Amino acid sequence: MTTASSPPLYRARGITKVYFPGEEMEVRALDGVDLDLHEGELAVLLGASGSGKSTLLNILGGLDVPTGGTLFYRDRDLTDADERDLTLFRRDVAGFVFQFYNLIPSLTARENVALITEIAPNPMPPEEALGLVGLADRMDAFPSQLSGGQQQRVAVARAIAKRPEVLLCDEPTGALDVNTGITVLEALERVNRELGTLVVLITHNAAIAAMADRVISLSAGRIVSVAPNATRVPARSLSW
């Protein structure tokens, strides 16, 4: 569901990210990236290791700032944002799902979600978030009592409970087997569909690209192709 007619949420122009500039070991992780991302869109960033997709996700998520170019989120200039602004951006706008779940082991599923809803301005109840990812019956389990897929779904619930406008997922199925991975992708699909959240998903698994509105391929820090899918394949029909 691409709404190209409305103004994009993210507007990136000529973004570069250079590590160790001027030194012998200088690395150009991003080398002039232009990209628009729209509300309600599900975009997959595809690329090999070292292609720059993680760097791009970090910059989109407000974990880092570009070395050059401009980046806007709505009217918010993220190009030179300071630490405080970036923290506020992550707190109010973006949700994150990590490859290794990153749940707090000393808190139950419900509490992991509640930890975030406590600091969010307009959250949904933790129970509702867990219900959306199909974990209504495991709310009082500790992470060590949950399977990998269940833990990742708690992570998704934690990310969406604050009703973020954008959900950034870094290899969310990277540590999971196919069936479990698909349950997690279904949860993301549902969030995208029902809440209209922009979902940006990093993967090196080309099969997952079929569920996206657009597939953005990166190589050596550049976008090499942007391929819209005519129809999105539902997550449950995917296989790899």
Partner 1 sequence: MLDLKLLRDLRNMKGQMTAVVLVMACGLTMMIMARGLVVTLETTERNYYTSSRFADLFCDLKRAPRFVETRLGEISGVAALETSVKGTVVLDLPGMKQPADGVIHSLPDGRPRRLNRLVLKAGRLPGTDSRDEVVVSAGFADAHGFRPGDPLDFTVYGVRRRFRIVGVAVSPEYVYETRPGEMLPDPRRFAVLWMGERELSRALDLDGAFNSVAFRLAPGADPENIKAAVDRILEPYGGLSSYGRTRHPSAKLLRDEITQLRGFSIAFPAVFLSIAAFMVSAVLTRLVRLQREQIAQMKAFGYSPFAVGFHYVKFALVAVGVATLLSATLGMWAGSAFVSLYRRFFQFPSLQFVPDWRALAAALGASALTSVLGVLGAVRQAASLPPAEAMRPEAPARFTPTFLERIGLHGLVPPSFRMALRNMERKPWQALFTAVGLAFATAIPILPGVMGDGVDYLVDFQWNRAQRQDAVVSLIEPGDNGAFLSLSRLPGVLFAEPFRAVPVRLLHGHRQWETAITGLPASPRLNRLLDEREREVPLPSFGLLLSEKLAELLHLVPGDEVRVEVREGRRPVLHTVVSGTIMDFSGVSAYMEIDALRRLLGEGDTVNGAYLKVDPFYWDAFWKRVKGIPRIGTVTTTSGAKENFSRTTEEMMGTSQALYFVFAVIVSFGVIYNGARIALSERARDLATLRVLGFTRREVATILVLELALLTALSIAPGLYLGARLSEAVLATANTETMRFPLVLTTRTYVVAVLTVLASSFFSFAVVGRRVARLDLQAVLKSAE
Q: At what angle do helices 109-117 and 148-160 cross, to 10 degrees?
A: 20
**Chosen residue from 92, 127, 128, 165 binding partner 1 by CB under 8 A:** 92
- CA-to-CA separations, 72 to 14, 33, 40, 192, 194, in angstroms, rounded: 12, 13, 17, 21, 25
**Residue 202: Cβ within 10 Å count:** 25
Distance CA 116, CA 168 (A): 16
Interface with partner 1 includes 141 (CB under 8 A)? no
**Chosen residue from 33, 56, 114, 154 binding partner 1 by CB under 8 A:** 114
Give the binding range for partner 1 (CB under 8 A) out of 19-27, 35-43, 99-107, 183-191.
Answer: 99-107
What are 240's two structure tokens?
């790899």
Give the binding range for partner 1 (CB under 8 A) out of 4-12, 16-24, 96-104, 218-226.
Answer: 96-104
Residues in region 151-210 near partner 1 by CB under 8 A:
158-159, 170, 175
Question: Which long-range contacts does 53-56 make (Cβ < 8 Å, 24+ apart)?
Answer: 53/202, 53/218, 54/170, 54/202, 55/17, 55/29, 55/30, 55/221, 56/15, 56/30, 56/218
Interface with partner 1 includes 233 (CB under 8 A)? no
What are 9's two structure tokens?
């949420």
What is the nearest approach in angstroms of partner 1 to the Cβ of residue 231? Answer: 31
What are 3's two structure tokens?
């709404």
**Chosen residue from 48, 104, 207, 224 binding partner 1 by CB under 8 A:** 104
**Chosen residue from 68, 72, 98, 219 binding partner 1 by CB under 8 A:** 98
**Chosen residue from 2, 16, 142, 190 binding partner 1 by CB under 8 A:** 142
Residues in region 49-78 near partner 1 by CB under 8 A:
54, 57-58, 61, 63-64
Burial (CB count <10 Å: 0-12, 13-18, 19+), residue 29? buried
Number of residues interacting with partner 1: please give it, by CB under 8 A: 37
**Binding interface with partner 1 (CB under 8 A):** 54, 57-58, 61, 63-64, 83-84, 87-88, 90-92, 94, 96, 98-100, 102, 104-107, 111-112, 114-116, 118-119, 142-144, 158-159, 170, 175
